[in-house]
Structure 1
Amino acid sequence: MAVAQEDARPEGRSSSPFWTITRRDSLAGFLFIAPQMIGIFVFVLIPLGLVFWYSLHEWNVLANTFAFTGAQNYRMLLEDESLLDVLGATAIFSVGLVIFNLSLALLLAVLLNQRLAGIGVFRTLFFSPVVVSLVAWTIVWGFLLQKNGGINGMLLTFGIEGPNWLREETTAMISVVVVQVFKNVGLNMILFLAALQGVPKELYEAARIDGAPAYKQFRRITLPLISPTIMLTSIITIVGSLQVFAQIAVLTQGGPGLSTTVLVYYLYQQAFQFHYFGYGSTLSILLFAIVAILTFAQWQMRKRIVFYES
């Protein structure tokens, strides 16, 4: 009888409902990620596509013209005599920032990882610049670094005549790097501190029993086990160094000459000061390519840096 009823069903009709548990779970998952995907599409992919589209045009806002020029802006990029100096300044700033920021952050984290009375006050003190307004922080440092500012006044008490920090090529770049290091070193310090506190104490005890000195414990135990955090902070710091703008705009305005004109500030000058929006968009594409290449290269290096990567 059951066979007869099964044969009597219309051909092609399924007995299972459409909204199965698997489909409901899939729909719930898509709904949860939908806001993020919409945000990426609206605020990342569409603007990126528009920047590439603008790089193929010459857009004059004042004259209200928008003319297609093809690869003309990219030819200008290859012929730009100032671009090499700008890329050189960007590289010097990025390398200096990464080396000093990560080194100082790791040193502070190791020191603040000690169980001493009042150590929480020092942790708060070193982290406090991170939450301070970037522009306010830079303006204060601008006053301190002037020819007759606080730093030269302090040096004068020791009989040392300080330079005009922001108006000489060598000292200007050093000053900008130092200001940026002190501003963000607290963030990397906290990340390193959390990583250090996650290292098992038993490993250090075993190393001490085997007679390993402190520097070998740091090299053989600490560094390998915090390597994921080193990888993370290096990526964050490098990408952040390529996006620096406010410090340059407030402290040096890219000078003297092009000594502190990093790529982002040069992009701003071309697009918003000289109104070459097409060429500014082309520089944006160049910046995006540099960030993407460096991030990809760092990610590929994780197999050599991160201890648990195979």
Structure 2
Amino acid sequence: MTTTTTRPLAEATRLPSGRAAGRRRAHRRADIITGYLFVAPQVLGILIFVFIPLGLIAYYNFHEWNVLAGTFTFVGTDNIEKLFHDPNLPSVLWATAVFCVGVVVGNISLALFLAVLLNRRFGATTFFRTVFFSPVVVSVVAWTIVWGFLLQDDGGINGLLQLVGIEGPNWLREGPTAMLSVIVVQVFKNVGLNMVLFLAALQGVPRELTEAAAIDGAGSWRIFRSITLPMISPTLLLTVIITIVGALQVFAQIAVLTAGGPGLSTTVLVYYLYQQAFEFHRFGYGSTLALLLFVIVLVLTIVQWQLRKRWVHYEN
């Protein structure tokens, strides 16, 4: 009697009714639709602000569009040929490379140094973290204008140098000092962001490893090089990538401080693109320069991502 009663119940629980199966499918469809709704704003934003502009730039690359004259002419590969014969492009690429290397080396080194110092416990840690991070949230234009006043021939920096008997240069009107100035302004603007990322990574390093190494007689530099640096290498990879991409896309600092001068000494690729497109109204050639910038950023990112296997800890 017990056997004949429990068998239908077991089969009923094992084989859901048609109504229950339909309810499950409805819940599954609702979950899928909810997921798509959550990712829709991001996908739509990427489509509108990334893929469509890239497609338009590729299209304009084969045309010459003069807004003032109202002409839009198909020129084929003329803009690409102009790119290879542009006498200013080598100087522009050199200035871009110098600026990028200076910003990346200065930013990463200073951010890591500050993070190591502020990772130690002392009374004013929170204050100094706030001070070093505060430039990140300041408007780029406001930050650059203030530095422009400081770097003038009769500005605050030369005034301080005169107090100790040093006659400072005209920072923004001489080639080497102009490039150095814009690099320093960019480094100080964004060093706080990388500092915070390094701080988070340093706090994840197991203290047992560093204490064991110290007991074995390893010095501070050996512990940092052999334990700390490998442990934070994924964060180091992230900061290097975002710093390089940010340095290649800099515009406001150059436009406000030097306007690309003197000569072409601080004319980086983004500013040169702006000049060609919006000052000289060569939108076709400006689109070609934009594609060149896209290719440079893409290649550098891919190279760094491939090289990560050699030096990033926890990567296979």
**TM-score with structure 2 length normalisation?**
0.91
The CA distance in 2 between the partners of 1:267 and 1:297, in whole Å, is 24
Is 1:267 the counterpart of 2:273? The answer is: yes
TM-superposed CA distance for 1:233, in Å, is 0.3
The CA distance in 2 between the partners of 1:235 and 1:273, in whole Å, is 31
CA deviations over 1:32-91 (Å, ceiling 9, x no partner): 322222222122111110011011101011111111111111111011010000000000
| Equivalent residue, structure 2, for 1:6 | none
Pick one of 209, 225, 231 that aligns with 1:225.
231
TM-superposed CA distance for 1:133, in Å, is 1.2
| Equivalent residue, structure 2, for 1:277 | 283
The CA distance in 2 between the partners of 1:264 and 1:88, in whole Å, is 13
TM-superposed CA distance for 1:17, in Å, is 5.0
The CA distance in 2 between the partners of 1:61 and 1:277, in whole Å, is 8
3-state DSSP class of the match of 2:164? coil
CA deviations over 1:230-261 (Å, ceiling 9, x no partner): 00000000000000000000100000000000
Q: Sequence identity of aligned pairs in percent?
A: 68
Structure 2: unaligned runs, 5 residues or longer: 1-17
| Equivalent residue, structure 2, for 1:153 | 159
| Equivalent residue, structure 2, for 1:55 | 61
Pick one of 91, 94, 102 that aligns with 1:88.
94
TM-superposed CA distance for 1:23, in Å, is 4.8
| Equivalent residue, structure 1, for 2:251 | 245
The CA distance in 1 between the partners of 2:164 and 2:23, in whole Å, is 83
The CA distance in 2 between the partners of 1:115 and 1:295, in whole Å, is 36
Of residues 127-136 and 265-274 in structure 1, the stretch that sits farther from structure 2 once superposed is 127-136
| Equivalent residue, structure 2, for 1:191 | 197
TM-superposed CA distance for 1:27, in Å, is 3.7
The CA distance in 2 between the partners of 1:301 and 1:26, in whole Å, is 37
| Equivalent residue, structure 1, for 2:104 | 98
Is 1:174 the counterpart of 2:180? The answer is: yes
Aligned length: 297
| Equivalent residue, structure 1, for 2:212 | 206
The CA distance in 2 between the partners of 1:82 and 1:166, in whole Å, is 21
| Equivalent residue, structure 1, for 2:10 | none
| Equivalent residue, structure 2, for 1:39 | 45
Of residues 153-162 and 251-260 in structure 1, the stretch that sits farther from structure 2 once superposed is 153-162
Pick one of 118, 121, 124 that aligns with 1:118.
124
TM-superposed CA distance for 1:22, in Å, is 5.0
TM-superposed CA distance for 1:123, in Å, is 0.8
Is 1:289 the counterpart of 2:289? The answer is: no
| Equivalent residue, structure 2, for 1:234 | 240
Of residues 145-154 and 229-238 in structure 1, the stretch that sits farther from structure 2 once superposed is 145-154
When the two chains are superposed, the root-mean-square deviation of aligned CA atoms in Å is: 1.6
Is the Cα–Cα contact under 8 Å of residues 231 and 305 in structure 1 kept in the other structure? no
| Equivalent residue, structure 2, for 1:256 | 262
TM-superposed CA distance for 1:103, in Å, is 0.2
The CA distance in 1 between the partners of 2:48 and 2:125, in whole Å, is 45
Structure 1: unaligned runs, 5 residues or longer: 1-13
| Equivalent residue, structure 2, for 1:11 | none
Write the letter of the residue equivalent to 1:87. L
The CA distance in 2 between the partners of 1:94 and 1:149, in whole Å, is 26
**TM-score with structure 1 length normalisation?**
0.92
3-state DSSP class of the match of 1:301? helix
TM-superposed CA distance for 1:31, in Å, is 3.1
3-state DSSP class of the match of 1:59? strand
Is 1:76 the counterpart of 2:82? The answer is: yes
